[in-house]
């Protein structure tokens, strides 16, 4: 039996896609092995969101070649979509694919292996094309953990933010048909999955390519048809949280009270330069709207430091915004130049040392705000719904519906179980609590 090893770089969308690719290989009688093992085929699903992502992608490709120079090395994903020539020059690469034809990988691997079995070293295959007017690539995941599974409902982005290379890597917005989402979700729930994360490149645009069926309509459909599971949304932007959306969202039983709001900055001047579609006040109003409608809701976010033109005034505005927003957690990262994006040519580029200093300040603020959120959850003494995922010694670890990390001491095997936990104390950003057995 031929073996395949897969490696994912980047976002939750890529993680989902890699799982779908792996199931495609299994359907063709390949055995999936660890990337640390010697394999007949290596698939690297790349990322290009930052220059560091590109570097890591190249590093993993070289690692595969070192592990087995005679293997079929297949590179797919965002980096190979935007930089196919760079990828094709790396040692051992026999297949360079884009982001819209990933389910073709198993068949292509079989053809390359067949040539090699006849003593032929295959020529490089470049199966990457323009993404103009491409359609949603059909893929599903049938096997998932009992805990959390990702379901990709949308691909592509048309926001054209000044710093971002992803529209060029992913193409236009296209959505998975509602009946296909429902069918996939129902199958996962029947298999025991307790939480499903609805993900995409820009899920707020779900349904933009349909006639009148949008993200909130999909959520209402899933809430009505699926029981015994909770839904979490991937990253969304503040402008979707209009009054009507929040009114309908608040009435859903299965959507967790946690939203990851992709902010990038809290300065209006920087947001305008980034070509984002909202202001800091619009975002604060959206958070207030959600807090008023959904009891105990918590928020996480992304924040970028050092965007061109971000001075001390603009950074101070971001700090002030973040303080007001009161996020449970933040992913802080420094601006990275991406070729073929407007921001790469902006004046007033920020020194790396300044980016690092500002990132450190934001991270310190994020930790303080996280502790405030956890203290509030403890003080309210309201039981949390926790999905348990792993064990470490005498403790079970999981995440609450609000996406706080929770640990309890217990002899029970709670893997994949949803249980109520009363939070008692916090330590190093983690809530410790007691199981409620009633």
Cα separation, 306 vs 351, whole angstroms: 8
Mean pLDDT of 333-340: 92
Task: Reply yes or no on whether the pLDDT at 119 is more than 80.
Answer: yes
Three-class secondary structure of residue 258 per DSSP: strand
What does the pLDDT look like over 388-431, one tens digit per residue?
Answer: 999 999 999 999 999 999 999 999 999 999 999 999 999 999 99
Mean pLDDT of 376-394: 97
**Do residues 252 and 220 lie in contact, with contact meaning Cβ atoms separated by under 8 Å?**
yes
Q: How far is CA 329 from the centre of its chain?
A: 15
Residue 123 neighbours by CB under 8 Å, 6+ apart:
none
Q: Is the dihedral of CA 387, 391, 396, 398 positive or negative?
A: negative
State phi, psi for 191 to the nearest 5 degrees: -85, 0
Return the H-helix or E-strand segment holding 264: strand 258-264
**Do residues 290 and 259 lie in contact, with contact meaning Cβ atoms separated by under 8 Å?**
yes
Cα separation, 194 vs 17, whole angstroms: 20
Q: Is the dihedral of CA 422, 426, 431, 433 positive or negative?
A: negative
Mean pLDDT of 317-322: 98
Task: For 339-354, give the secondary structure using H, E and C.
Answer: CCCHHHHCCCCCCHHH
Residue 155 banded pLDDT, cuts 50, 70, 90: very high
- Cβ neighbours of 333 (radius 10 Å): 18
What does the pLDDT look like over 262-316, one tens digit per residue?
Answer: 999 999 999 999 999 999 999 999 999 999 999 999 999 999 999 999 999 999 9
Three-class secondary structure of residue 297 per DSSP: coil
Long-range contacts of 308-312 (CB under 8 A, 24+ apart): 308/273, 308/335, 308/343, 308/346, 308/347, 308/348, 308/349, 308/350, 309/269, 309/270, 309/273, 309/346, 309/347, 309/348, 310/265, 310/267, 310/270, 310/335, 310/350, 310/358, 311/348
Strand runs labelled E in 55-176: 72-77, 93-97, 125-127, 148-155, 174-175
**Do residues 297 and 402 lie in contact, with contact meaning Cβ atoms separated by under 8 Å?**
yes
**Do residues 419 and 431 lie in contact, with contact meaning Cβ atoms separated by under 8 Å?**
no
The predicted structure's pLDDT at residue 438: 61
Task: Reply yes or no on whether the pLDDT at 145 is more than 80.
Answer: no
The two tokens of residue 183 are: 């069918």
Beta pairing partners, 385: 420
Mean pLDDT of 333-337: 95
Q: What share of the chain is helix, strand, coil (3-state, %, to 5)?
A: 40, 25, 35
How far, in Å, are 13, 236, 252, 351 from residue 207 at the CA level?
A: 17, 14, 19, 40
- Cβ neighbours of 141 (radius 10 Å): 21
Mean pLDDT of 133-156: 90
How far, in Å, are 37, 38, 56, 115 from residue 74 at the CA level?
A: 16, 15, 16, 15
Mean pLDDT of 240-250: 97
The predicted structure's pLDDT at residue 422: 98
**Do residues 348 and 273 lie in contact, with contact meaning Cβ atoms separated by under 8 Å?**
no
Task: Reply yes or no on whether the pLDDT at 185 is more than 80.
Answer: yes
**Do residues 27 and 106 lie in contact, with contact meaning Cβ atoms separated by under 8 Å?**
yes
Residue 134 banded pLDDT, cuts 50, 70, 90: confident
Render 208-254 in DSSP notation, one character per residue. Answer: TTSSS--HHHHHHHHHHH--S-EEEE--B-GGG--HHHHHHHTT-SS
- Cβ neighbours of 259 (radius 10 Å): 25
């Amino acid at each position: 039996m031929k073996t395949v090893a897969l490696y994912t770089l980047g976002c939750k969308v890529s993680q989902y896609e890699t799982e779908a690719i792996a199931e495609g290989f299994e359907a063709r009688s390949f055995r999936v092995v660890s990337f640390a093992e010697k394999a007949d085929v290596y698939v690297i699903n790349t990322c290009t969101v930052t220059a560091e992502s590109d570097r890591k992608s190249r590093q993993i490709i070289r690692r595969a070649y070192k592990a087995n120079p005679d293997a079929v090395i297949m590179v797919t994903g965002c980096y190979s979509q935007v930089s196919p020539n760079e990828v094709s020059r790396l040692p051992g690469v026999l297949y360079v694919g884009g982001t819209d034809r990933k389910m073709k990988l198993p068949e292509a691997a079989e053809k390359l292996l067949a040539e090699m079995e006849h003593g032929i070293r295959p020529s490089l295959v470049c199966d990457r094309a323009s993404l103009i007017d491409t359609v949603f690539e059909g893929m599903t995941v049938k096997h998932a953990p009992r805990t959390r599974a990702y379901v990709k409902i949308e691909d592509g982005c048309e926001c054209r933010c000044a710093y971002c290379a992803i529209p060029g890597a992913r193409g236009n917005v296209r959505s998975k048909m509602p009946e296909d989402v429902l069918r996939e979700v129902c199958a996962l729930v029947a298999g025991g999955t307790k939480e499903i994360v609805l993900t995409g490149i820009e899920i707020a645009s779900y349904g933009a390519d349909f006639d009148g069926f949008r993200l909130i309509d999909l959520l209402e459909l899933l809430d009505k048809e699926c029981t015994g599971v909770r839904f979490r949304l991937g990253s969304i932007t503040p402008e979707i949280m209009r009054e009507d959306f929040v009114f309908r969202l608040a009435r859903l039983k299965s959507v967790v009270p946690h939203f990851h709001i992709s902010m990038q900055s809290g300065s209006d001047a920087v947001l305008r330069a980034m070509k984002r579609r909202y202001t800091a006040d619009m975002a604060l109003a959206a958070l207030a709207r959600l807090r008023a409608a959904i009891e105990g809701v918590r928020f996480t976010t992304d924040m970028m430091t050092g965007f061109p033109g971000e001075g001390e005034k603009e950074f101070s505005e971001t700090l002030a915004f973040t303080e007001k927003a009161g996020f449970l957690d933040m992913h802080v990262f420094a601006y990275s130049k991406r070729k073929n994006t407007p921001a790469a040519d902006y004046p007033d580029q920020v020194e790396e040392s300044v980016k690092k200093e500002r990132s450190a300040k934001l991270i310190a603020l994020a930790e303080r705000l996280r502790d405030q959120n956890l203290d509030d959850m403890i003080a309210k003494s309201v039981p949390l719904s926790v999905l348990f995922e792993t064990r470490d010694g005498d403790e079970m670890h999981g995440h609450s519906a609000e996406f706080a990390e929770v640990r309890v001491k217990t002899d029970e095997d709670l893997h994949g179980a949803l249980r109520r936990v009363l939070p008692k104390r916090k330590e190093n950003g983690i809530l410790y609590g007691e199981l409620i057995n009633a």
